[in-house]
């Protein structure tokens, strides 16, 4: 069968650094596993009254186990091929980094204080920086022709050793088609396509598990009724934060003490300033969006998701500094809001695409 694809000649953009198509997903999984390891470790130590390994004179910190696991993850990645090995390296590296990061309090204090208060904030800031940096690297620019061909070739090489699941084969073939449409060398394209099409089929257990996992979420939490509820709650919380911030700015350092009434309003500090900025940004984004929710368009949902992300990240920065790991409660609420909005965006995107296709408007993009 002969494929006919019209080549669009575009200037070839040479990339000094090529991004891995699976790199962003692996980085996110690595950090999620690290955070889960920190929480499990803290819970285990709390339940067991913080036991020490090493006897009377030695104390073998779990940061050493973390370093050993990170070393093992690196060695596996260097020495072996295959997506399975890569997944194992991500898991071991994530656990190792979590064990290492959990003892950051000992590394930044003279008396090796594991319970150093700001340690939770240091962990949080590092996790956010890594995740945001990962997103920036992924979305900074459109994949170049070299990147699409290199990633397709990498997937084909994995298929030679262990076979290719059908979803991964289809993804690699789409990258090859895209490179061909952008004017890639025909012989390279033909060779990659032939190699991908002739790789034996491989297991897709991990992919099947990823597709099955969302089905375990109760239908109750997927209801669209959650969207206006969490949206208005976030908007109201932001409005309250703005009001309190204005009061601090206008009446800061006010102290009134009478026989009947005591009023004590502190001035705005760094923490309250961050909360005020967070509330202002959130309210400016959320209020017009929540009013337009019933329009059926996607932009209110997308804007609300941005507002929820800002509200969660900035508020958590203050919460971790003031409350330590108790801030995880507010973070969990923020993540639930993000999950509700993201799920609704996915549902609406599919509905709009199907509606456009039914009316023959296949070129229009969801707004």
Burial of 96 (0-12, 13-18, 19+ CB in 10 A): buried
**Reported pTM:** 0.77
Alpha-carbon torsion angle 73, 75, 78, 80, nearest 10: -80
pLDDT at 10: 46
Digit-coded pLDDT (tens) for 260-291: 666 666 667 777 888 889 999 999 999 999 99
pLDDT (tens digit, 9 = 90+) per residue, 22-79? Answer: 888 899 999 999 999 999 998 888 888 888 776 667 778 889 999 999 999 999 999 9
Cβ atoms < 10 Å from Cβ of 316? 22
Whose tokens are 């959130």? That residue is 282
> Would the CA dihedral through 119, 121, 123, 129 be positive or negative?
negative
> Helix 328-358 to helix 226-251 angle, to the nearest 10 degrees?
130
For 214-232, what is each residue's pLDDT tens digit?
Answer: 777 788 888 889 999 999 9
Computed on alpha carbons and rounded to an integer, the radius of gyration of the chain in Å comes to: 26
Give pLDDT tens digits along the chain (367 positions). 444 444 444 455 555 788 888 888 899 999 999 999 999 998 888 888 888 776 667 778 889 999 999 999 999 999 998 888 999 999 999 999 999 999 998 888 888 888 888 888 889 889 889 988 988 888 888 888 888 999 999 999 888 888 888 888 998 999 999 888 888 888 989 999 999 999 888 877 777 777 777 777 788 888 889 999 999 999 999 999 999 888 887 776 656 566 666 666 666 777 788 888 999 999 999 999 999 988 878 899 999 999 999 999 888 888 887 887 788 888 899 999 999 999 899 888 888 877 777 665 544 444 5
Distance CA 317, CA 65 (A): 29
Instruction: Confirm if 205 and 162 have CB atoms less than 8 A apart.
Output: no
DSSP of 248-297: HHHHTTEEEE-SS-EEEEPPP-HHHHHHHHHHHHHHHHHHHHHHTGGG--
Could you say which DSSP state residue 20 is in?
P
Taking alpha carbons only, the member of 319, 340, 303, 308 closest to residue 271 is 319
Cβ pair 178, 198 in contact under 8 A:
no
């Amino acid at each position: 069968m002969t494929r006919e694809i019209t080549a669009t000649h575009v200037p070839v953009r040479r990339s000094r650094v090529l991004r891995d198509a699976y790199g962003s997903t692996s980085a996110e999984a690595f950090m999620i596993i690290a955070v889960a390891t920190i929480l499990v470790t803290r819970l285990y130590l709390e339940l067991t009254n913080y036991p020490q390994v090493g006897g009377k004179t030695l104390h073998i910190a779990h940061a050493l186990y973390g370093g050993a696991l990170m070393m093992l993850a690196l060695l596996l990645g260097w020495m072996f091929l295959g997506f399975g090995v890569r997944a194992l390296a991500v898991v071991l590296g994530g656990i190792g980094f979590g064990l290492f990061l959990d003892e950051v309090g000992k590394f930044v204090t003279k008396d090796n204080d594991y319970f150093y208060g700001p340690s939770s904030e240091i962990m949080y800031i590092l996790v956010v920086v890594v995740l945001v940096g990962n997103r920036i690297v992924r979305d900074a620019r459109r994949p170049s022709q070299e990147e699409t061909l290199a990633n397709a070739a990498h997937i084909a090489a994995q298929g030679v050793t262990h076979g290719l699941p059908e979803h991964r084969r289809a993804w690699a073939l789409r990258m090859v088609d895209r490179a061909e449409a952008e004017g890639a060398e025909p012989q390279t394209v033909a060779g990659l396509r032939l190699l991908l099409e002739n790789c034996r089929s491989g297991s897709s257990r991990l992919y099947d598990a990823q597709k099955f996992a969302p089905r375990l979420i109760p239908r109750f939490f997927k209801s669209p009724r959650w969207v206006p509820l969490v949206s208005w709650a976030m908007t109201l919380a932001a409005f309250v934060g703005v009001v309190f911030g204005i009061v601090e700015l206008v009446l800061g350092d006010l102290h009134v003490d009478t026989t009947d009434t005591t009023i004590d309003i502190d001035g705005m500090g760094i923490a309250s300033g961050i909360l005020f900025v967070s509330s202002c940004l959130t309210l400016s984004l959320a209020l017009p969006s929540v009013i337009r929710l019933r329009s059926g368009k996607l932009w209110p949902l997308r804007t609300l998701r941005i507002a929820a992300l800002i509200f969660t990240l900035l508020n958590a920065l203050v919460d971790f500094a003031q409350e330590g790991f108790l801030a995880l409660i507010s973070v969990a609420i923020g993540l639930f809001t993000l999950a509700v909005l993201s799920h609704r965006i996915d549902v609406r995107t599919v509905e709009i695409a199907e509606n456009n296709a039914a009316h023959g408007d296949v070129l229009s993009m969801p707004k």
